């Protein structure tokens, strides 16, 4: 099913959209569990990081800020792996949509995966473990704001890269259920940023004020 794009064919667009929506098994167990992880993970790391900032409970538990941050990093990473596995298991038995099952869509998917993974890997390389996993909540700050790639193309390459990867795998497999999960990933990351960005800005502003005093 391919619509003609030279004259906008609303009937065909409607049929395509219906085809896509009908190809989603909303009741599948792994689909629901994947959505659960997508929703839970950012809430979890924001709550835990704020608690750490307020009480230093992880620093005390692990015997140091850096160790505490590594502990949180390991936990967040594991939750991410669990989420990705559920996504994978969910897509495995979700229907393929005829609309998405085209070579062009697959190629777009491949590009999204490539760009997404590039953003994730280079972001991790630039920030290191503590920079990636909420080190600022532990009082571990970067000396300078990183402006090199991928930060010259995205403010949040980790989130954008991860979202692009979900999008890419969904398109590559032609499974609209994956697009629903991707949309939810995007929503949760956008929400998370509303909490994280002002907080990070505040912590760095405090540090800069301290530095200015010393000078
Ligand atoms: C970002 O940096 C990379 C590597 O230094 C460079 O190739 C690219 O052109 C830059 N992109 C923008 C938009 O400045």
Query: Are 98 and 141 contacting, i.e. CB atoms less than 8 angstroms apart?
Result: no
Residue 11 covered by a domain = no
Residue 2 covered by a domain = no
Residue 13 covered by a domain = no
- Tell me how far CA of residue 3 lies from CA of 12, 15, 107, 210, in angstroms: 6, 9, 18, 60
Residue 5 covered by a domain = no
Q: pLDDT (tens digit, 9 = 90+) per residue, 41-91?
A: 999 999 999 999 999 999 999 999 999 999 999 999 999 999 999 999 999
Q: How confident is the model at residue 215 (pLDDT cuts 50, 70, 90)?
A: confident
Q: Which atom of ligand 1 lies closest to the CA of 152?
A: 1
- pLDDT at site 116: 98
Q: Could you tell me the residue range of the domain that residue 114 belongs to?
A: 27-214
Q: pLDDT (tens digit, 9 = 90+) per residue, 162-187?
A: 999 999 999 999 999 999 999 999 99
Query: Are 65 and 129 contacting, i.e. CB atoms less than 8 angstroms apart?
Result: no
For ligand 1, which residues put their CB under 6 angstroms from it? 149, 152-153
| Among 152, 154, 160, residue to substitute to test ligand 1 (most atoms within 8 Å of Cβ) | 152
Task: Quote the number of domains for the chain.
Answer: 1
């Amino acid at each position: 099913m391919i619509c003609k794009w030279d004259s906008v064919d609303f009937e065909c667009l409607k049929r395509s959209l219906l085809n896509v929506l009908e190809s989603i098994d909303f009741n599948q167990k792994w689909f629901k569990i994947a959505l659960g992880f997508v929703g839970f993970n950012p809430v979890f790391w924001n709550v835990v990081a704020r608690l750490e900032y307020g009480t230093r409970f992880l620093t005390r538990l692990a015997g140091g800020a850096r160790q505490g941050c590594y502990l949180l990093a390991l936990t967040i990473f594991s939750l991410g792996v669990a989420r990705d596995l559920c996504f994978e298991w969910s897509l495995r038995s979700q229907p393929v949509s005829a609309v998405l099952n085209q070579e062009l869509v697959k190629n777009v998917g491949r590009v999204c995966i490539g760009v997404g993974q590039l953003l994730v890997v280079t972001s991790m390389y630039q920030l290191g473990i503590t920079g990636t996993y909420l080190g600022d909540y532990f009082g571990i700050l970067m000396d300078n704001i990183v402006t090199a790639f991928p930060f010259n193309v995205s403010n949040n390459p980790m989130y954008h890269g991860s979202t692009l990867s979900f999008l890419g795998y969904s398109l590559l497999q032609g499974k609209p259920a994956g697009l629903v999960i991707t949309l939810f990933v995007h929503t949760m990351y956008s929400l998370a940023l509303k909490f994280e960005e002002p907080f990070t800005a505040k912590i760095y502003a405090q540090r800069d004020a301290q530095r200015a005093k010393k000078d």
